[in-house]
Structure 1
Amino acid sequence: MDKAIEKTIKGLNTSEYQSLKSIPGIGPVLASGILAEIGTMKSFTSHNALAKYAGLTWRVDQSGNYTSENTRMTKTGNKYLRYYLIEAANCVKNHVPDYKEYYYKKFSEVKIHQHRRALALTSRKLVRLIFSLLTKNQIYSNDKVGEIQ
C-alpha cells in the first residue's frame, strides 16, 4: 500500500513530496496526506494562514482587561489536514531532538491536558517548518535546510 501511495504522489508533485519526506519521522503516508489536503502552497500567504486552514489556532477569550489563559483550539478548518499534521508532529518529535525538547517543555508547563496541548503546539511548530520548506522548495537537514536538486 505504501509503495502504491508513493508511486502516485511522486508523479504529481515530486519536489514537494521530497521536501516532506526529508523530515525525519514523516513517511510516504503522512507526506502524501499532507500534500493532498494542502493542494498548492500558492493558496497560503503565511504559515499562519496554513495553520488557520488546518484549524490549529486558538480562540481569544477576553472581556475588558481580562484575558483567559485557558483557551480552546478552534478546530474550524480541514480536519483531515489537522489530523495529518498532529500525527506527523507526534512522529517528528520522536526523531528530531529539537522537536522532542519543545514537546517536553510545553508538556511540563501545564497540569491538565498535557499531551494534547504539547502535541498541538508541536504541530504548530511543524506547520512553520513545512510552510518554509514547501515555499522555498528545500529539503530538511539536521543542521541546515538545503535546496532540492
Structure 2
Amino acid sequence: MTTQQTLIGLDIAKNVFQAHAVDETGRCVFKRKLGRSEVASFFDALLPCRVVLEACATSHYWARIIRQHGHEVALVPPEAAKAFVRKGKKNDAIDAAAICAAALHPDTRYVPVKAEEQQSILSLHSARALLIKQQTMVVNALRALAAEFGIVAPRGTGKLDALMATIATAELPETMKQVAETLFQQFSTLRDKVSRLEARIEAHARTDEDARRLTSVPGIGPVTASMIVASVTDIGAFGSARQFAAWLGLVPRQHSTGGKPRLGRITKAGNREIRTLLVLGATSMIYRAPRWQSVAGAWLRGLLERRPARLATIALANKTARIVWALLSRKEVYSPRGRHAVPA
C-alpha cells in the first residue's frame, strides 16, 4: 500500500487530519484519519511522494514538518479545492479528495510555503494591525463620550491631548472625567506598543535587500515594503506584472461575454493587507501629485483631470504593484523615467 501512492491530499484541522492517497492514474489507494500526534510518524513511514495541503491556518507549519520527512509538499488555494467539492456533500474525507483533484488539475496554481522567518515578520504586521484596530476603537469611544457632553473634538489622534485638556478643565461629572482618562491611558498604551512594533518592522525593512529596493518606489514606505517581502515567497510564481496585480485584487472584475469586454470594479481578491497598504500609499501620492515631478507624476495629474480621485488612487495602486513585480523580478532599484516640470 505504501509503495503505490504518488499523491496525498491532506485535509488539516486543529486535532483531526484526513489523508487521501491516489496513484499515478488518479485511483484512490487509501484513506486515513490521523490524530495530530500521528501526522509526523505517519509520513515518516511512507516512501517519498507528493503531499498537497489547502493553504489555510497552520498549513505552512505542517508543510515544513512533512518536508522534513522527505516529501514534496505543495499548497493549493482554498478556492481551487472548493471547486471539486460536490454541493451538499462535505466532510473531511471529501475535502481531502477534493485537494487531490485540485492538485491533479493542470491549471492549478500553488501557494509557496513560507519559512519560519517570514511568518515571524508577518506576526509583527498582524499584531500591529490588531493594535491599530483597537486603538481606533478606543479613540472613537473617547470622542463619542466627549460628544455626549457637548465637546466635539477635531479628527486625528494628534488632537486627543487637546481634547483631554478640555475635558479636564470643563465643568463635567467626575465619573465622566475618570472614564475619559481611562480610555486615554489605554490609547497611550496602545500607541506605545504600535510604535515599538513599527520600529521592529522598519528595522527589517532596512536590513532586507528586497525591502530596501521597494522603499525607493514613491508611495511605498518601510511597513509596506516589509509586508510585501514577508508575504511574497517567490516573485517568480507570477508570470507577469498583471498576474501580481491580480493576486492583490487590483485588476477590474470582468463580466465579458460574446466578445464584448465589460470591466467592473476591482476584484479585491488575494492579499488584502498588501492591497490596503498600496492603496493608502497611493492616496498619499494623490495629495502630492502637483509636486510629483516625474513621468509617473505627470501621468497621475493627467488621470486626475479625467477621472475621480478615488479611481485614480486605485489605478496608481495597480501601477505601483506592477512596479513592485518588476523590481523584485529584475533585482533593480526604482528610477523615475525623466523629470517633468510641474505646470504653473
TM-score w.r.t. structure 2 length? 0.36
User: What is the aligned partner in structure 1 of residue 202 from structure 2?
Assistant: 6
Contact 2:224 2:274 in 1 (8 A): no
Which structure 2 residues correspond to residues 110-121 of structure 1 after superposition, within 5 A? 110=307, 114-121=308-315
Which structure 2 residues correspond to residues 116-131 of structure 1 after superposition, within 5 A? 116-131=310-325
- Say yes or no: does 1:48 pair with 2:245: no
| Pair 25,117 (structure 1): closer, same or farther in 2 beyond 3 Å | closer
- C-alpha separation between the residues in 2 aligned to 1:37 and 1:108? 35
Identity of aligned residues (%): 27
- C-alpha separation between the residues in 2 aligned to 1:36 and 1:91? 23
Q: Quote how far apart the aligned CAs of 1:75 are.
A: 1.2
What stretches of structure 1 of length at least 5 have no aligned partner?
145-149
Higher relative contact order (CA 8 A, sep 6+): 1
Contact 1:24 1:92 in 2 (8 A): yes
Which piece of structure 1 moves more, 24-33 or 50-59? 24-33
TM-score w.r.t. structure 1 length? 0.75
Q: Quote how far apart the aligned CAs of 1:15 are.
A: 1.6
Q: Give the number of equivalent residue pairs.
A: 138
Which structure 2 residues correspond to residues 51-130 of structure 1 after superposition, within 5 A? 51-64=245-258, 66-68=260-262, 71-92=264-285, 94=288, 95=292, 97-110=294-307, 114-130=308-324
Q: What is the alpha-carbon root mean square deviation over aligned residues?
A: 2.5
Deviations 1:60-94 (A, max 9, x none): 234446544x6221112211121122123234453
Structure 1 or 2: more strand by fraction: 2
| Pair 42,81 (structure 1): closer, same or farther in 2 beyond 3 Å | same
Deviations 1:103-149 (A, max 9, x none): 23223324xxx1221111111111221111111111123348xxxxx
Matched residue of 1:90: which SS?
helix
Contact 1:59 1:73 in 2 (8 A): yes
| Pair 71,48 (structure 1): closer, same or farther in 2 beyond 3 Å | same
State the AA in 1 paired with 2:214.
L
Contact 1:38 1:81 in 2 (8 A): no
* Larger-Rg structure: 2
- C-alpha separation between the residues in 1 aligned to 2:239 and 2:212? 22
Structure 1 or 2: more helix by fraction: 1
| Pair 24,119 (structure 1): closer, same or farther in 2 beyond 3 Å | closer
| Pair 92,41 (structure 1): closer, same or farther in 2 beyond 3 Å | farther
Which piece of structure 1 moves more, 88-97 or 75-84? 88-97
